[in-house]
């Protein structure tokens, strides 16, 4: 009896070892470094500096395919996903026309004298959502805007008008 139990335990351990090796070889490794280059593709670093905003890169959360979200599957996460951040922007602001980019970053907003209200932001994990909103008196009736959304609560931290011309060929919406 002990022999059969020992053999069964040995077979189970060997099967676990083989499956672990197989999965570690076939599965991609986790992303542990941020992508190089500017954090945003639709707003230049010079425009961010002019708005007194600094964005430091952060690892982007995994977004599930639509067919999984359609059946109600959500990953356990302590931060909002890109779609939730965009929904917070659309819910909290009337006249949002487009959203061009959604990026998770560590945000710092300096020069509080330029801001009439809002919290101080120092290296806070936030979604940087770039888009446009309707605005009377602006060129074409559309104003380019950068929203910073708290990544944990979904509360809008600040809305900033993007200064200067936006670069041509902006990025598609996505995480």
Sequence-distant (6+) residues with CB within 8 A of 111 are 52
- pTM score: 0.71
147 three-class SS: strand
Average of per-residue pLDDT across 148-152:
94
Domain ranges in the chain are 1-30, 45-161
More confident residue, 127 or 29: 127
pLDDT in tens, 2-36: 788 888 899 999 999 998 888 777 776 667 778 78
Chain CA centroid to CA 161, Å: 20
State the burial class of residue 87 (Cβ atoms within 10 Å of its Cβ: 0-12, 13-18, 19+). Answer: middle
Query: Residue-wise over 42-63: b if at least 16 C-beta within 10 A, else e?
Result: bbbeebbeebebbbebbebeee
Q: Is 154 exposed, middle or buried (0-12, 13-18, 19+ CB in 10 A)?
A: middle
Taken in order 77, 79, 82, 85, the sign of the CA dihedral is positive
| Amino acid 112: pLDDT | 53
pLDDT in tens, 76-99: 778 888 889 999 999 988 889 999
């Amino acid at each position: 009896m002990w022999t059969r139990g020992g053999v069964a335990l040995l077979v189970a351990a060997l099967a676990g070892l083989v499956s672990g090796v197989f999965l570690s070889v076939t599965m991609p490794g986790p992303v542990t470094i941020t992508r190089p280059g500017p954090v945003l593709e639709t707003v230049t670093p010079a425009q961010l500096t002019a708005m007194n905003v600094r964005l430091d890169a952060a690892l982007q959360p995994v977004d599930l395919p639509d067919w999984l979200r359609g059946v109600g599957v959500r990953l356990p996460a302590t931060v909002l996903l890109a779609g939730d951040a965009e929904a917070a922007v659309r819910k909290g602001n009337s006249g949002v026309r487009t959203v061009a980019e959604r990026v998770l970053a560590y945000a710092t907003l300096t020069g509080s004298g330029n801001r009439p209200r809002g919290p101080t932001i120092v290296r806070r994990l936030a979604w940087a959502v770039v888009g446009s909103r309707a605005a009377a008196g602006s060129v074409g009736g559309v104003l380019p805007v950068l929203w910073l959304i708290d990544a944990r609560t979904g509360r809008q931290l600040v809305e900033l008008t993007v200064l200067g011309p936006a670069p041509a060929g902006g990025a598609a919406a996505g995480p």
